[in-house]
Structure formats: structure tokens, C-alpha cells
């Protein structure tokens, strides 16, 4: 039944009569109208002040995850696993023992051969330098046409340039002088050889003999 359809009833809740004596029909229960304690309300959610830290679960979870590495190029060949420190040491010792036996055998077969000096930075620079010189036609016997490998010479020159960049600030003054001189000479030799080939091609179209003969020598003198 709705609240509007309930019958209107008047109840006398007075506990005492007009002369102050207790009424026998008074309701012994305490008055509850408007005095009954209100039902407890759920506590309101605390408000965050500007000074309180605010956590964002999604961002925190994302930050705790390690960054993912960029996807590898599927067209690139797979890299072999890196050797361990023990494998590296075993390979070094085996290599050293093999080279010692080889050197002993060579010296026994060729008495009087000097012991080769240990490899050094200067020998590495000189090896790349001489490779570039040979690729530019150096070492050609008189009367023979030089055999020139421009692309190979370019790779050797660039290789020496990368070595100079990677060792910058770590070389001694003599090593710096050696590197600078080697790079200067083979770069200048590469330019002179390419210019000579360009002049020769302009004077003699394809299919005609070159009346000037071999490429004339020029600086540096090592390129002949």
C-alpha cells in the first residue's frame, strides 16, 4: 500500500497525565520519531590534494616493463651466438700454439731466416697502405701496363680512414704522423690515377689505341 493511501491515525504518545501521574496505556518504548539515528552513510572518497601523489596504474605498469628492442630486419642473415670468455681464451691459446709450431717449422726449413717481428699498429697501417698502392698500379714493372683496381683501392683507403677515426685520441705522435702520411699519399694517388684515366679516355674514344702508352707517373712517386 502506498504512503498516500494509508489511514491517518492519531496516537497519543504522552507518558504522563495532566496531573503528572504516569499513564497506564503509555508506550514504554522510547520515542523514535525524528530521534532515530540516521543510517550511517558510506564514507566519501578522499579528495586528492595537489600535493598528494596520484598513481596511474596503466602508466606505471608500462614504465615497469623493459623497453622492447627494435624488430630485426627479416632479410638480414641471423647472427651467430657470441662466444663465451672461455671459448675466446681457448681459441687464443690454440692459435698461439699453432703459430709457434708453424714459425718453428719455417725456420727449420729455412736456416738463417730472421724471426718476424710481432704485429704492431704501424704494420697494420703499412699493410693497408701497400694494398692500396698495388691496387692503384704501384709496383708495375717498367714497360708493362699498370693493372688498376679503383674500387678495391677505394675500399682500402676507406678502411684506413675508418681506422684513423676509431683510434683518434689514442695514438702516439709517431703513429699519428704515420697515419696522416699514409692517408695523404694514397688519397692523392687515387685522385691522380682517376684524373689520368679520365684524360686518357677523353683523348682516346673506346676502340682506339692509346698512343701515349701507359699512364704517366705523377705524384706521389709511389704510384707508377
Please, what is the angle between helix 121-135 and helix 150-166, to 10°? Answer: 160
In a domain, 6, yes or no: no
In a domain, 18, yes or no: no
* Per-residue pLDDT at 159: 97
In a domain, 108, yes or no: no
In a domain, 214, yes or no: no
* Per-residue pLDDT at 29: 54
**What is the C-alpha separation between 76 and 157, in angstroms, rounded?**
27
In 60-157, the DSSP E strands lie at none
Weakly modelled stretches of the chain, pLDDT under 70 = 1-73, 205-224
* Per-residue pLDDT at 213: 47
* Per-residue pLDDT at 208: 58
In a domain, 102, yes or no: no
* Per-residue pLDDT at 34: 44
* Per-residue pLDDT at 211: 47
DSSP classification of residue 82: P
In a domain, 78, yes or no: no
Look up the domain containing 130 and give its range. Answer: 121-203
Single pTM value for the model: 0.54
Q: How many domains does the chain have?
A: 1
In a domain, 86, yes or no: no
10 neighbors 18 (Cβ within 8 angstroms):
no
Residues in the chain: 224
* Per-residue pLDDT at 135: 94
| b/e per residue 51-76 (b: at least 16 CB within 10 A) | eeeeeeeeeeeeeeeeeeeeeeeeee
* Per-residue pLDDT at 216: 44
The residue with cell 689514442 is 170
**What is the C-alpha separation between 57 and 102, in angstroms, rounded?**
66
* Per-residue pLDDT at 20: 64
223 neighbors 217 (Cβ within 8 angstroms):
yes
In a domain, 46, yes or no: no
Amino acid at each position: 500500500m502506498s504512503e498516500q493511501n494509508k489511514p491517518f491515525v492519531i496516537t497519543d504518545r504522552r507518558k504522563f497525565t495532566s496531573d503528572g501521574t504516569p499513564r497506564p496505556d503509555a508506550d514504554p518504548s522510547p520515542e523514535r520519531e525524528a530521534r532515530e539515528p540516521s543510517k550511517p552513510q558510506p564514507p566519501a572518497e578522499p579528495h586528492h590534494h595537489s600535493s598528494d601523489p596520484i598513481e596511474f596504474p596503466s602508466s606505471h605498469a608500462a614504465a615497469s616493463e623493459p623497453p622492447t628492442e627494435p624488430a630485426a630486419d627479416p632479410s638480414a642473415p641471423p647472427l651467430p651466438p657470441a662466444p663465451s670468455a672461455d671459448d675466446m681464451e681457448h681459441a687464443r691459446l690454440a692459435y698461439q700454439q699453432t703459430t709457434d709450431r708453424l714459425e718453428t717449422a719455417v725456420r727449420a726449413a729455412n736456416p738463417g731466416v730472421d724471426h718476424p717481428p710481432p704485429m704492431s699498429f704501424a704494420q697494420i697501417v703499412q699493410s693497408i697502405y701497400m694494398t692500396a698502392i698495388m691496387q692503384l698500379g704501384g709496383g708495375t714493372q717498367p714497360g708493362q701496363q699498370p693493372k688498376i683496381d679503383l674500387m678495391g683501392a677505394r675500399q682500402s683507403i676507406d678502411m684506413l680512414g675508418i681506422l684513423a677515426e676509431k683510434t683518434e685520441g689514442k695514438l702516439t705522435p709517431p703513429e699519428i704522423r704515420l697515419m696522416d702520411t699514409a692517408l695523404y699519399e694514397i688519397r692523392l694517388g687515387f685522385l691522380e690515377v682517376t684524373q689520368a684515366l679520365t684524360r686518357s679516355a677523353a683523348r682516346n674514344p673506346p676502340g682506339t689505341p692509346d698512343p701515349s702508352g701507359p699512364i704517366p707517373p705523377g705524384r706521389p712517386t709511389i704510384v707508377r
